Structure formats: C-alpha cells, structure tokens
Amino acid sequence: MKSQIPLFILSLAIVIMVAGCQSIREMHYFKDKAGNPPNYYRLQIKGHAFLTSSRYLSGNFDEEAVNYYFGEIEQPQSVKFESKQLDSKQPNQGIEPIGSDGKKFVLMLSTNSDAISTAFGNFVESKETQLYLARIINRDKLIELEEMKVSENAEMKRRNRMIILGENYLNSITVSESPESIRIKLLAYLNATAEYFGNPQNFTDLGVAQKWFMDNRNSLINR
C-alpha cells in the first residue's frame, strides 16, 4: 500500500506536468534590406514551458495595431510582456521577415496570447470601419464641393460674358449715332444685365430701367 501511494503521486505529477507543458519549435527566415545581393537569415525558435497556461503564438500583424496595442491599449490582466525591438539607425537598413507583406512580425508567449491577437484583429476591423465611414462622409463632401465648384465656374463664366457684353455694347456706340440708336443699345444692355440678376421683364423705357436698378441697388451690390 505504501508503494502504491508514491506511485500514485508520481503518476499525478507526470499528468500535471504533461498537461501544463508546451514545446515550441519554429523556423523563420529574414532578408537583409541593404544587401545587394541581399543576405538571408534563419531564425530558429525552440522552447519549453512547464506548469503554466502560457501559449505561444507567432505571426505577422498589422503594424499600426501592434504599435497602438503596446503603446496605448490597456492589456489583459496577468499579461507580463517585455517588448524587444531593433530600431534601424539609417534608412534601408535592418532586416524584414520574408512574406510579411509590410506587417510587423510578433512572437508571443503569454497566458493571454489569444486575447492579444484578437485585440490586434479588433483594432484592424475598427480602423477599416472608420476608414469606410470616413470615405462615405468625405465622398458626400467631395460631391458637394464639386457641385459648388461647378456652380462657381458657371457663375464666373456668366459674369465674364456680361463684362464682355457690356464692353461690346459701349464700344459699339459712336458719337455720330442718333439718340434713338443709342437708346436701343443701352436698353438692350440694361435688359441683359437685369436678366442676369433675375429680372424676368424687359425694359422698354430707360427711366423704368433706371428705377429698377436704383430700387435693387443694395441687393445687386451684395451679390
């Protein structure tokens, strides 16, 4: 009976150790940015964890999500992380993981590896949603600005035509012309100008035209 108890304890210890252990073995390849031809490096990951619920996780994650997470987001409880990063001192120096597609390579051994990777994914999802909403809002603003631009361009063209029309009318008047001919030309110019400002009726008398312009002087100046 005495020999069975130590055997039972030993068996239980083995079960606990097996349940709480983890072996890690991975191989990653990196390319030198500055080399010509580039150099390639192999990184071999080996590790063992005993009597712990820690889980190993590696992969390429969105760089902004990684930076934001370790810089600003409150991390899950029980996470103890030591972040090590190689900063390039000069442009085009350093190494990058092969096939990373511009993402940041992360190795994690933590009790909350899944929670951390989920946080990365949630950040990317949130960022994409914000970008999508921003595109919709900006699209409406761009359409509105484009319509305003088209309207302003059309208005500018109309004003330029009115300026040219006025110059043509005034330049066509000569000293030798009869008063009636001058009156007709002035009425034509005043009618065109009044129509530009929204008057639907044609003037047949210079006095009526003068009165309309005087009555609407303030609104015409402010337009």
Q: Could you tell me what percent of the chain has a pLDDT over 70? A: 65
Most confident of the ranges 92-101, 117-126, 143-152, 210-219: 210-219
In percent, the amount of the chain with pLDDT more than 90 equals 0
- Tens digits of residue pLDDT in 168-181: 777 777 778 888 88
Tokens representing 217 are 């002087």
Do 76 and 182 fall into the same domain? Answer: no
139 falls within a domain: no
| Range with the poorest average pLDDT among 27-36, 38-47, 175-184 | 27-36
pLDDT, the chain, mean: 70
- Residue 136 inside a domain? The answer is no
User: What pLDDT is recorded for position 92?
Assistant: 47
Residues 114 and 38 grouped into a single domain: yes
Give the integer Cα–Cα distance in Å for 98 and 105: 10
Whether residues 121 and 214 share a domain: the answer is no
User: Is the pLDDT assigned to residue 36 strictly greater than 60?
Assistant: yes
Q: Is the pLDDT of residue 2 over 50?
A: no
CA-based nearest residue to 32, from 115, 88, 104: 88
Quote the pTM value: 0.34
User: Which tokens in the block code for residue 154?
Assistant: 């059309």
CA dist 16 and 53 (Å) reads 11
In this structure, is residue 153 part of a structural domain? Answer: no
* 22, HSE (Cβ side, Cα atoms, 13 Å): 13
Domain tally for the chain?
Answer: 2
**Are 120 and 28 within one domain?**
yes
User: How many Cβ atoms are within 10 Å of 120's Cβ, its own excluded?
Assistant: 21
Structural domain for 104, as ranges: 4-131
Domain limit, last residue, from 131, 165, 183: 131
**Residue 65 confidence (pLDDT) above 80:** no
3-state secondary structure the chain: CCCHHHHHHHHHHHHHHHHCCEEEEEEEEEEECCCCCCCEEEEEEEEEECCCCCEEEEEEECHHHHHHHHHCCCCCCCCCCCCCCCCCCCCCCCEEECCCCCCEEEEEEECCHHHHHHHHHHHHHHHHHHHHHHHHHHHHHHHHHHHHHHHHHHHHHHHHHHHHHHHHHHHHCCCCCCHHHHHHHHHHHHHHHHHHCCCCCCCCCHHHHHHHHHHCHHHHHCC
